[in-house]
């Protein structure tokens, strides 16, 4: 089955990237954590007729619920089918659920435990609503272009961080009894030309095999290892073959190389054909698509083997058994009703999840500037002034399309038709934002907006509050002790963003700062939002990237402003000074030679975000992994252990996850208040970017407290993908080890030396690197 994605040739009519065919589909073996589920699934599927097996591999309209999709059922065997619903940030377009922090906000928390808890409690709401499959989390897009309309749905542009948090999410969701859906497979990195419309094919992500494995496949590997029940193939083409027709990707890589045991699902109405079944696709959505009754006929005329259909049905049933839906699961779709019609609401919320919701909202806020300890407010303010369209609750949150698609604050987006060209205001001026738009949005029980939360605190503290949310150049009461300016950056599925800032919002910050000596800027952002138009203004004393905190955003922010909680978030991307600093900025379009077949060449390889900034020696405004706290932390030296057997060698599926080296350091809270520090480990792999994230741990420390932080490095962490050998290979040579508080705030270094095959292995002797750096009060070194 070995074949490779062809290296890119110069693009033109005569030379296009090609994805080679790989057949047949590997049959699932049912090993490891899947073993018991496969015993049950095989026994069940053996009782089914061909027609019944085909029935559960496709969608049907079900007027009894508003699930995004429903599979067929098997009434004879009392199997009721599956309800599928959006998405990875909470249940969308229904009532009596919660709006959780969005993926990017979770990424900014760098918190494995909290990510797991979010997945667990969020999925319990899906389960209560009778949703069998939650359509998330997102492992793609990662964020190749910072303008990507769906970047906010995922965790980070970095594949290691995205993969680690994706795996925690999947584990939590499936422990709650809900099937996770890992999407979008693969290289689905822009909304522009994301699928065929009006005679124009979907964009082709032209990507070489090495880049595919080392960057875009990485988080999917983590998701597969975590036991993801399902994977969604993507709308786009990859090397000129549609994702849901691509046998190289589904058969060759996902089910072959990764040994994936779950099922592959069609993204809604994605391009596919009857042969997609042979290419590795297992389930169509939302209806029968190109299969319909044709799949049964294809088996009869031997176009598709019945063994393939049996494997499809078995994979689906095995996933159902894997998460325990054979016992005690509600009727599919029982809580998904048309909201404008009389219905008995199913309250999916659990009071025990409230601390997770609030802590999730708090943890993704990133403090990027805090001059002269402007924050926290250490005593009650006598007067505070609030400005900006993002400070208040949206005008409506009802049952309409704005609610269903998360467009409460951006009504113009609610009128847009998919596939048509629109250029939206970069800011959602109708109120604060808690998520981005469309499939990844969620349904808030309430919205705690900043102004309301500030006024509730003012009532307690006897503070006078001024506000003007309408003017771009408001007056400022000269007695104001602090001026808070709220702006945002909106993004949505279906369209990429037009830019990374907007002039009116930047002018608002500057106008207030010109009149207020203690101006604090707060930016809710569905993606990267540049700050250089105002960040160096001397009266902008503090700046917070508030991302997308969900329904508790205002309450979370007030706790942070007043020091009842501490900032611990770190940027899951690089915040540049200029748009031109990004290695890839705009999404790919059409040219004179590809008017109906857009081509997007990923020639930058793995050099994206901080990897490209480091390689090009470009100074960012705020680097990947950066974030301030109200306290300070020092790092000790590092201790390094490496396995004696770590030599130049190729790995396989059985040993890629073996820990072959360990790095530890001591982190100490040197400040006066409790706080959490995210210690980060980067590797310098020979012939690769200067630094790549390969470990992170979040430590909560009281003042003066120290903790040992340990990072385990797997064989995969040290490996490169060698195309010629089609193997992950640990190279001979020296690997730099960098431990610190961000990708550029490195506190201690060491090295791992990997000998050649014939050289003696290194002894298991710890090496110690002393001379720790001490973090200064501004968070730098």
Q: Which token pair is 245?
A: 């027709």
The token duo for 649 is 């060698």
Total Cβ atoms within 10 A of residue 156: 29
Bridge-partner residues for 484, per DSSP?
386, 520
Around 124, how many Cα atoms within 13 Å sit in the side-chain half-sphere?
17
State yes or no: is 267 an active-site residue: yes
Q: How far apart are CA 169 and CA 113, in angstroms?
A: 10
CB atoms within 10 A of CB 29: 11
Cα separation, 366 vs 710, in Å, equals: 24
Element containing residue 637 per DSSP (H, E):
strand 633-642
Provide CB contacts within 8 A for 48, sequence distance 6+.
74, 77, 313
The closest alpha carbon to 236, from 611, 597, 522, belongs to 597
3-class secondary-structure state, position 274: coil
Among the listed residues 587, 546, 650, the one whose alpha carbon sits nearest the alpha carbon of residue 102 = 546
Instruction: Give yes or no for a contact between 155 and 106, defined as CB atoms under 8 angstroms apart.
Output: yes
Pairing of strands 237-238, 767-769: unpaired
Listed residue (106, 560, 498, 57) closest to 319, CA to CA? 57
- Catalytic entry in 111, 267, 609, 745: 267
> Is the Cβ–Cβ distance between 442 and 85 less than 8 Å?
no
- The CA-CA-CA angle for residues 236, 242, 244, to 5°, reads 100
Q: Is 485 exposed, middle or buried (0-12, 13-18, 19+ CB in 10 A)?
A: buried
Q: Which residues share a beta bridge with 738? A: 682, 749
Phi, psi of 630 (to 5 degrees): -80, -5
Q: What tokens does 213 get?
A: 């494995």
DSSP sequence for 190-250: -STT-S-BTTBPPPEEE--HHHIIIIISHHHHHHHHTT-SEEEEPSSEETTEEGGG-HIII
CA distance 711 to 640: 10
| Residues with a known catalytic role | 267
């Amino acid at each position: 089955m070995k074949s490779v994605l062809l290296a890119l040739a110069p693009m033109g009519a005569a030379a296009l990237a090609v994805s080679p065919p790989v057949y047949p589909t590997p049959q699932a073996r049912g090993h490891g954590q899947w073993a018991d589920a496969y015993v049950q699934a095989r026994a069940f599927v053996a009782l089914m007729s061909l027609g019944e097996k085909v029935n559960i591999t496709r969608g049907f309209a079900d007027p009894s619920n508003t699930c995004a999709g429903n599979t067929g059922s098997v009434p004879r065997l009392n199997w009721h089918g599956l309800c599928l619903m959006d998405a990875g940030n909470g249940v969308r377009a229904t009532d009596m659920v919660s709006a959780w922090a969005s993926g990017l906000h979770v990424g900014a928390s760098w918190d494995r435990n909290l990510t797991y808890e979010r997945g667990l409690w969020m999925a319990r709401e899906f389960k209560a609503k009778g949703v069998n499959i939650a359509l998330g989390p997102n492992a793609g897009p990662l964020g190749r272009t910072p303008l990507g309309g769906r970047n906010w749905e995922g965790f980070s542009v970095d594949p290691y961080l995205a993969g680690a948090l994706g795996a925690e999410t999947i584990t939590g969701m499936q422990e709650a009894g809900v099937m996770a859906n890992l999407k979008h497979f693969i290289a689905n990195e822009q909304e522009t030309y994301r699928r065929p419309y009006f005679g124009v094919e979907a964009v082709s992500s032209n990507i070489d095999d090495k880049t595919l494995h080392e960057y875009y496949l990485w988080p999917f590997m983590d998701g597969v290892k975590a036991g993801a029940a399902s994977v969604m193939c993507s709308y786009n083409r990859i090397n000129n073959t549609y994702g849901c027709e691509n046998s190289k990707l589904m058969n060759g890589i996902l089910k072959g190389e990764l040994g994936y045991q779950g099922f592959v699902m069609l993204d809604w109405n994605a391009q596919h054909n009857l042969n997609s079944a042979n290419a590795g696709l297992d389930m169509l959505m939302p209806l029968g698509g190109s299969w319909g009754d044709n799949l049964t006929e294809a088996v009869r005329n031997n176009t598709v083997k019945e063994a393939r259909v049996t494997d499809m049905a078995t994979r689906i049933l095995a996933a159902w058994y894997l998460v325990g839906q054979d016992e005690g699961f509600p009727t599919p779709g029982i809580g998904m009703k048309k909201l404008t019609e009389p219905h008995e609401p199913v309250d999916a919320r659990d009071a025990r999840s409230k601390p997770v919701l609030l802590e999730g909202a708090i943890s993704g806020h990133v403090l990027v500037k805090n001059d002269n300890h402007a924050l926290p407010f250490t005593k009650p303010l006598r007067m505070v002034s609030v400005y900006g369209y993002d400070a208040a609750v949206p005008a409506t949150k009802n049952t309409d399309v704005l609610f269903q698609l998360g467009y409460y604050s951006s009504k113009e987006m609610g009128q847009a038709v998919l596939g048509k060209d629109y250029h939206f205001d970069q800011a959602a001026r109708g109120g604060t934002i808690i998520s981005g738009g469309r499939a990844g949005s969620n349904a808030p029980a309430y919205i705690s907006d900043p102004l309301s939360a500030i006024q509730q605190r003012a009532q307690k503290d006897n503070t006078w509050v001024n506000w003007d949310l309408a003017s771009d150049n408001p007056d400022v009461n000269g007695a104001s002790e602090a001026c808070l300016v709220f702006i945002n950056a909106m993004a949505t599925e279906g369209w990429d963003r037009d830019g990374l800032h907007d002039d009116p919002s930047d002018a608002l910050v500057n106008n207030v700062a010109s009149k207020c000596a203690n101006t604090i800027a707060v930016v809710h952002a569905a993606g990267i939002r540049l700050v250089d138009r105002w960040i160096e203004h001397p009266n902008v004393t503090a700046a917070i990237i508030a991302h997308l905190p969900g329904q508790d955003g205002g309450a979370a922010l007030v706790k942070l402003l007043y020091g009842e909680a501490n900032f611990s978030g770190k940027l899951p991307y690089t915040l540049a000074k200029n748009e031109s600093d990004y290695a890839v900025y705009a999404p790919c379009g059409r040219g004179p030679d590809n008017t109906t077949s857009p081509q997007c060449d990923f020639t930058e390889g793995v050099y994206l975000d901080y990897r490209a900034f480091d390689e090009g020696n470009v100074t960012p405004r705020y680097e990947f992994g950066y974030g301030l706290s109200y306290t300070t932390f020092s790092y000790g030296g590092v201790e390094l252990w490496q396995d004696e057997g770590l030599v130049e060698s190729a790995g396989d599926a059985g040993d890629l996850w073996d820990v072959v080296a360990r790095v530890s350091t001591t982190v100490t809270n040197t400040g006066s208040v409790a706080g959490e520090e995210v210690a980060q480990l980067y590797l310098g792999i020979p012939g690769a970017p200067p630094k790549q994230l390969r470990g992170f741990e979040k430590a909560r420390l009281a003042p003066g407290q120290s903790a040992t932080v340990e990072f385990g490095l797997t064989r995969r962490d040290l490996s490169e993908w060698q195309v010629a050998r089609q193997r992950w290979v640990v190279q001979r040579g020296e690997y730099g080890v960098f431990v610190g508080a961000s990708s550029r705030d490195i506190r201690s270094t060491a090295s791992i030396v990997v000998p050649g095959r014939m050289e003696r292995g290194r002894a298991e002797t710890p090496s110690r690197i002393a001379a720790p750096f001490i973090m200064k009060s501004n968070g730098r070194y």
